[in-house]
Amino acid sequence: MRYDLIRLPLLKPLLRSRWPQLLFQIIALGGFVLAILAGLVGTPVGNHNFSIVFVWIAWWALLMLIAVPLVGRGWCSICPIPVPGEWLQRGAVLKPSGRGPSAGSGRGLSWGRRWPNRLRNIWLQNGAFALVALFSAVVLTQPRVTGIMLAAFLFIAVGTSLIFERRAFCRYLCPVGGFIGLYSQLAPVEVRVKDPALCVAHTPKTCYLGSDDGYGCPWQVFPGRLMKNTYCGMCGECLRTCPYDNVTVNLRPFGADLQHPTGRRLDEAFKAFILLGSVLAYSAVMLGPWGALKSAAYAVGTAAWLGYALTFLSLIFGLLPGLFWIAVRAGQVFARSNTPTRQTFIAFAYALIPLGLAAWIAFSLAFVFANLSYLWPALSDPFGWGWNLFGTTSMAWTPYLTRVIPALQTLALLGGLMWASATVHQIAGEQSPSVGHASGLSQSLPVILFCLLVTLALLGLLVG
Amino acid sequence: MISPHVLPSTLHARLALALAALAVAFFPAPTSLAAPTDRHIHLEASRFAYVPAVIAVSPGDRVTIEFEAADVVHGLYLDGYRLNLIAEPGQTARLTFVADRPGTFRFRCSVTCGPLHPFMIGKLSVGPNWLLYRAIGLSFLSVIAGLPLIKRQALRDTP
């Protein structure tokens, strides 16, 4: 069931035009540069510094509570991090110079090397996310560290654009990109072709190679074979370069990508464990009452921090995947399934995607609304230098919605568990279509038990 | 071919599940039989932690918090009750209130006290945490919710 959003008046010209996207990118880039500057030269007090408040409260709220659940990678289409590198790579800010069929491949400052085949996966993104998560207690509270980190993202993105073709940084390195990509499979919006056969027959593949009307897919995706949102940056280039108007934006049921049994991979499965483990750890460290745990996570380099780091890494790379593997194996034994365990493990890990997103939403609700009121003074005084640009500097800290947040967190977690359980049943059906539903149920139950235990742990941490 | 018994049995299962969910979610929590008492709690705040970090009282208790900051100025904002208390180092601040809202509430530092200030959090339980108990019950029901679907499909596949 799909609804073609391009049919809506104004949407097609809005999406095909480069100006709205460029406008949002420039606004986002301005905010991003301000966040870097505030982090580097502003007050060291985190909750009075624009870099911390804007990035980790305002942007995070926008991303986790609205953008990812509703538009998936929509943020990536206006993300400022790859923009300067992309401008340099293309030698243009707005559109191709219009010099024949290869115009869309760009004629700017880039060696245009291919990303190495061995690294064409998201393991580097997984590692990058785990690294940032490991230092999160410092990154989220020290403006200078946030500023340095954001600047590093920008420099790495520019450097990657100058060496490699297209958006290699977004596709293979960006720690946030991997996060958004995995959960974008749940979003009710997708960019897809109307008739794949038309794409197969069409030469040259302007959507991939580019044309006078637009650039070849920056995300290195051939839209004709696009089945999932994971690696589609929703930049709209294929809408511009398709001469047949064969590309569209659909409204679809939530989680439609999870219905596709193809294209499931171990690196993406591990991304699900890393994200689930991280949200469990964050809930304990940042929202729990344990001062010693907070201090350990913050005191980088000390023995306490090393203990925290080892526990955290063991949780995301060992304990969670290990318990999950046991659950999957038990299900196989109960169902007498002959499918290779690795394949079943990878497939079932995709059921953790709705559970993980729900967990992040529940975590973010508490974190964001307790601290959102720091935004108003930070907007008036981004550097903490005593400015009062909008007259909001003296607005007092007030946590919002504290009476209803626990109920909303509970609803989010229960919704995630229900969705995860339904996905487990569906995947069990795919895994053993011939063994019958009783066996499918036997195979599902241990995995559902795993999801239930994770949910109970999150409930204990967040509303307990 | 769909069995004539499939639809009613599935519907009955779903109805029973919905009723069970409603009961778990909205059944009135038992009121506390314990007589309200005066509770005096000495709470010390230092470097991103409260001691004790978890406080339990009974509904209706008259609670007096003696709040002491050991290092720098700290605050105590109690979610749900919207009470705020600030303590200067070496001085004790006091607040008395009646714990008339049952549930579990976070209290958090309301004065910027250092880098981990936004995460300086403690917990006040006023009676049992019925939200958590209900959530646990609903978690099990959420899992069971998938089963009627399986049953329906199984019966549908039956020749």
pLDDT at A97: 67
Q: Is A247 in a helix, a strand, or coil? A: strand
pLDDT at A435: 57
pLDDT at A105: 56
Confidence of residue A163 (pLDDT cuts 50, 70, 90): very high
Residue A353 burial (C-beta neighbours within 10 Å; 0-12, 13-18, 19+):
buried
Contacting residues for A381 by C-beta, under 8 A, at least 6 apart: A48, A387, A388, A389, A393
pLDDT at A226 over 80: yes
| Spatial separation of the C-alpha atoms in residues B74 and B62, rounded to whole Å | 23
pLDDT at A96: 83
Confidence of residue B150 (pLDDT cuts 50, 70, 90): very low
| Spatial separation of the C-alpha atoms in residues B69 and A240, rounded to whole Å | 62
User: For A231-288, how does the pLDDT look when each residue is reduced to its tens digit (9 = 90+)?
Assistant: 999 999 999 999 999 999 999 999 999 999 989 999 999 999 999 999 999 999 999 9
Q: Is A464 on the interface with B (CB under 8 A)?
A: yes
Contact assignment for B115 to A46 by CB distance below 8 Å: yes
Mean pLDDT of chain A: 94
Please give the residue of chain A at the shortest CA–CA distance from B133.
A464
From chain B, pick out residues whose CB is under 8 angstroms from the CB of A422: 146, 149
pLDDT at B7: 59
| Alpha carbon of residue A310 to chain centroid | 25
Q: Which helix (H) or strand (E) holds B85?
A: strand B83-87
| Spatial separation of the C-alpha atoms in residues A159 and A257, rounded to whole Å | 33
pLDDT at A352: 98
pLDDT at B144: 86
Q: Which two tokens stand for residue A287?
A: 């929202």
pLDDT at B158: 42
* Vertex A183: Cα angle to A177 and A184 (nearest 5): 80
pLDDT at B6 over 60: no
Distance from CA of B156 to the nearest CA of A (A): 11
Residues 227-286 of chain A whose Cβ lies under 8 A from any Cβ of chain B: 285-286
Of the partner residues B122, B136, B146, the one whose CB lies closest to the CB of residue A459: B136
User: For A103-116, how does the pLDDT look when each residue is reduced to its tens digit (9 = 90+)?
Assistant: 455 568 899 999 99
Q: Name the DSSP letter for residue A385.
A: S
Q: Is A10 on the interface with B (CB under 8 A)?
A: no
pLDDT at A106: 54
Query: How many residues are there in chain A?
Result: 464
Contacting residues for A404 by C-beta, under 8 A, at least 6 apart: none
pLDDT at A199: 95
Contact (Cβ atoms closer than 8 angstroms) between residue A412 and residue A463 = no
Confidence of residue A434 (pLDDT cuts 50, 70, 90): low
- Provide the sign of the torsion angle of the four alpha carbons A343, A349, A351, A353, taken in this order: negative
pLDDT at B152: 52
Number of alpha carbons in the 13 Å side-chain half-sphere of residue A198? 13
How much is the pTM?
Answer: 0.94
Confidence of residue B8 (pLDDT cuts 50, 70, 90): low
Question: Residue range B77-84: average pLDDT?
Answer: 95
Q: Is A301 in a helix, a strand, or coil? A: coil
pLDDT at A437 over 80: no
Q: Which residue has the higher pLDDT, B47 or A129?
A: A129
From chain B, pick out residues whose CB is under 8 angstroms from the CB of A403: 79-80
Question: Residue range B9-35: average pLDDT?
Answer: 86
Q: Which residue has the higher pLDDT, A435 or A241?
A: A241
pLDDT at B1: 41
Q: Which helix (H) or strand (E) holds A189?
A: strand A189-193
DSSP string spanning B44-56? Answer: EEETTEEESSEEE
Of the partner residues A46, A287, A459, the one whose CB lies closest to the CB of residue B132: A459
Contact (Cβ atoms closer than 8 angstroms) between residue A365 and residue A65 = yes
Supply the ipTM of this predicted assembly.
0.89
Contact (Cβ atoms closer than 8 angstroms) between residue B62 and residue B20 = no
Please give the residue of chain B at the shortest CA–CA distance from A286.
B119
| Spatial separation of the C-alpha atoms in residues A321 and A118, rounded to whole Å | 23
Question: Residue range A66-86: average pLDDT?
Answer: 97
Contact (Cβ atoms closer than 8 angstroms) between residue B9 and residue B151 = yes
Contact assignment for A295 to B47 by CB distance below 8 Å: yes
| Alpha carbon of residue A169 to chain centroid | 14
The CB density around residue A99, as the number of other CB atoms within 10 Å, is 10
pLDDT at B155: 45
Contacting residues for A183 by C-beta, under 8 A, at least 6 apart: A68, A69, A72, A275, A353, A356, A357, A360
